[in-house]
Amino acid sequence: MAFDKYRHYENSVQTPEEHVRIFESMFFQIRRKEALRLREDFCGTFLISCEWIKSNKLRTATGIDLDPEPVAFGRKHSYSKLTSTQKRRLDLRLQDVCVPTPDKHEIIGAGNFSFNIFKDKKALKKYFSAARRSLTPDGIFVLEMAGGPGFIAKGREQKTYTMPGLGKFTYYWDQKSFDPITHFGTYAIHFKDRHGVMHKDVFTYDWRVWSIPELREVMLECGFKDTKVFWEDPGPDGSGTGEYVAMEKGDNAFAWIAFVVGIK
Ligand SMILES: C[S@@+](CC[C@H](N)C(=O)[O-])C[C@H]1O[C@@H](n2cnc3c(N)ncnc32)[C@H](O)[C@@H]1O
Does ligand 1 come within 6 angstroms of the Cβ of 92? no
Q: What is the pLDDT of residue 140?
A: 98
Confidence of residue 5 (pLDDT cuts 50, 70, 90): very high
Residue 235 predicted with pLDDT over 80: yes
Q: Using the predicted structure, report yes or no on whether residue 238 has a pLDDT greater than 90.
A: no
Chain CA centroid to CA 59, Å: 19
Q: Is the CB of 66 under 6 A from ligand 1?
A: yes
In angstroms, rounded to a whole number, what is the distance separating the alpha carbons of residues 59 and 18? 17
Mean pLDDT of 5-16: 95
Q: Is the pTM of this model over 0.85?
A: yes
* Separation of CA 14 and ligand 1 centre (Å): 13
197 alpha carbon, distance to own chain's centre: 28
41 confidence band (pLDDT: 50, 70, 90) = very high
Binning pLDDT at 50, 70 and 90, where does residue 237 land? confident
Locate the ligand 1 atom nearest the alpha carbon of residue 98 and give its number: 19
Neighbours of 72 (CB within 10 A): 15
In tens, the pLDDT along 84-128 reads 999 999 999 999 999 999 999 999 999 999 999 999 999 999 999
User: pLDDT-derived band of residue 255, with 50, 70 and 90 as boundaries?
Assistant: very high
Give the pLDDT of residue 240. 83
CB neighbour list of residue 191: distance below 8 Å, 6 or more residues apart:
3, 5, 8, 12, 169, 170, 171, 172, 198, 199, 202
Ligand 1 neighbourhood includes 64 CB (under 6 angstroms): yes
The full length of the chain comes to 264
CB 89: neighbour CB atoms within 10 A? 21
Residue 144 CA, closest ligand 1 atom number: 8
**Beta-bridge partner residues of 110:** 41, 143
* Span from the CA of 206 to the centroid of ligand 1 (angstroms): 12
pLDDT of 1 higher than 80: no
Q: Is 44 in the pocket of ligand 1 (CB under 6 A)?
A: yes
Contact 200, 176 (CB under 8 A): no
- According to the model, what pLDDT value does residue 99 have? 98
* Residue 87 DSSP SS3: helix
Q: Convert 43-62 to b/e letters by CB count within 10 Å (16 or more is b).
A: bbbbbbbbbbbbbeeebbbb
Q: What is the DSSP annotation of 59-86?
A: -EEEEEES-HHHHHHHHHTTGGGS-HHH
The continuous run of DSSP H or E covering 156 comes out as strand 155-163
- 238 vs 27, 105, 234, CA distance in Å? 25, 35, 4
Q: How confident is the model at residue 239 (pLDDT cuts 50, 70, 90)?
A: confident
Q: Which residues contact 38 (CB under 8 A, 6 or more apart)?
A: 23, 48, 49, 52, 59, 60, 61, 62, 105, 106, 107, 108, 109
Kindly indicate the confidence band of residue 213, based on its pLDDT and cuts at 50, 70 and 90: very high
Is any ligand 1 atom within 6 A of the Cβ of residue 99?
Answer: no
Task: Report whether residue 112 contacts ligand 1, using a CB cutoff of 6 Å.
Answer: yes
